[in-house]
Every structure is written in structure tokens, then in C-alpha cells.
Amino acid sequence: MVDLNWEDENLLARRDESLLVERENLTLRQRSTDILRQAIVDNRFEPGTHLKERELCDLLGVSRTSIREALRHLESEHLIEMVPHRGPVVISLSVEDAISLYQVRAALEGLVGELFAAHATDQQIKALEDKAAEMAIAAENIDPKVILPIIENFYEILFEGSQNQVCTQFIQSLNARISLLRRKSLSRKGRAGPMMKEISKIVVAASKRDAGALRQACIAHVKSASKAVMPLLVARK
């Protein structure tokens, strides 16, 4: 082992301090990203809204550096786009965008359901059942701020139980736009009842470890959500 002299030790101390500062900055940028992402999903920033750096700095109480990093990240999630001579603008999902997202989501979640039936632990199946029961209570009086995190937790359990990290990484890259569409789906009058029937079929198939039925139940749920959302997007055109 190499001996360190006094100067070497101080150098390492300075390096450690620098790393700690960077971690703090990264946390601040991540928090800024999370807050702005949620504001977009909650429609506090409507599609087409121009996001001005100075106003965002004042709103969040952070530096321009943090805001710029957050905006870059949201651009990579396709929640905002950089418009020439204007800057960052909140995206407006088109019908074509939604169709593509639902197609990918149906294929991906169908596979995840099949894998969940084969690989999930008994504890994960129980967790899925418990989360569905929690969702059913929230669905009685839908408040997106309450039910959306429960739905997201439900899918986290499903993806974790599939034990396929590539599937998880793919869905994470789509999650922000899926949340936008999911919120629209929940805003459709009468959607809660059919949604819970679809979730119930997913849970029953999972409890039986019926891979084929679980795959079909996951796909059917995505297709039903798509049918609920499409008229809303078409009407907006």
C-alpha cells in the first residue's frame, strides 16, 4: 500500500469535498426536474406553454444552472421541445404520438405480464393484490393526485416481478409521456369502472400464475385505455 504524505491527504480531502458539493448540486437539479415534470403531468404547464428560465428560477428558488439541467432532462423525456428563437415549450401529444406509445406499451406490458407469472415471488403477487385493492378504494372518487401514484406503484411491482431489467429501462424512458396519457384516460367520465375490471383480471391471472391470461389481460387494459384517450385527443385537434 502506498504511503500518502500530508499534501496527498489534503488533495484527497479536497477531492472528496468537491464530490460532496457535486452530489448536492445533482440532488438539487433532480428535485427541480421532478417538480417540473409533475407540473407538466398535472397540466399546471399546459401544452404549448413557453417555459422561461428566469420565471422558473423564481418559482422554484433555484439557480439557472439547475433549471437548464432540468429542462435538458425533460427534453430527453420528450416532455418539452426546444423551439428555435423561442426556447423550451411543453409538448402537445398528437394522436399519432399516442397511438405509437400505446402500441409499444401494449407489447411491452404484455411481455412483462407473461414474465411476471413465471418469475414473481409470492410476496410480489401479494403486493400486487394489495395495491389493486388500494387502487379500487381510490377509484371510488378519482383524484389524479391520489390515484396516479398508486397506479404507478402497481406497475412498478409488475415490472420488478418480471425480473427483466431491459423492459424496466424501456418503460422508464416512456413513463413521463405515459403519465400524461394516463391522466387523460382517468379524466374520461365512466373510465374508473372498466379500469378496475381490467386491473382485477390482471391480478387474478397473476395469482394463478397464468402467463397467457396475464399477458392478454395486460394488453387488453392498454387497449382499453387507448380507446378512452383517443376521442379526447381527436377533439382537441
Domain spans of the chain, in order of start: 6-90, 95-236
Pick the CATH number of 6-90 from 3.40.630.10, 1.10.10.10, 3.30.930.10, 3.40.50.720: 1.10.10.10
Which residues does 81 contact at the CB level (< 8 Å), separation at least 6? 75, 88, 89, 91
Q: What is the pTM of this model?
A: 0.79
pLDDT digits (tens), the chain, 237 positions: 434 443 444 434 444 444 444 455 557 888 899 899 989 988 889 889 999 999 999 999 998 999 999 999 999 989 999 999 889 999 888 899 999 999 999 999 999 999 999 999 999 999 999 999 999 999 988 888 899 999 999 999 999 999 999 999 988 888 889 888 888 888 888 888 999 999 999 999 999 999 999 999 999 999 999 999 988 887 665
Q: Which CATH number fits domain 95-236: 1.25.40.10, 3.40.50.2300, 1.20.120.530, 3.30.70.20?
A: 1.20.120.530
Q: What is the DSSP string of 185-209?
A: HHHSTT-HHHHHHHHHHHHHHHHTT
Q: What element of type H or E holds 12?
A: helix 6-41
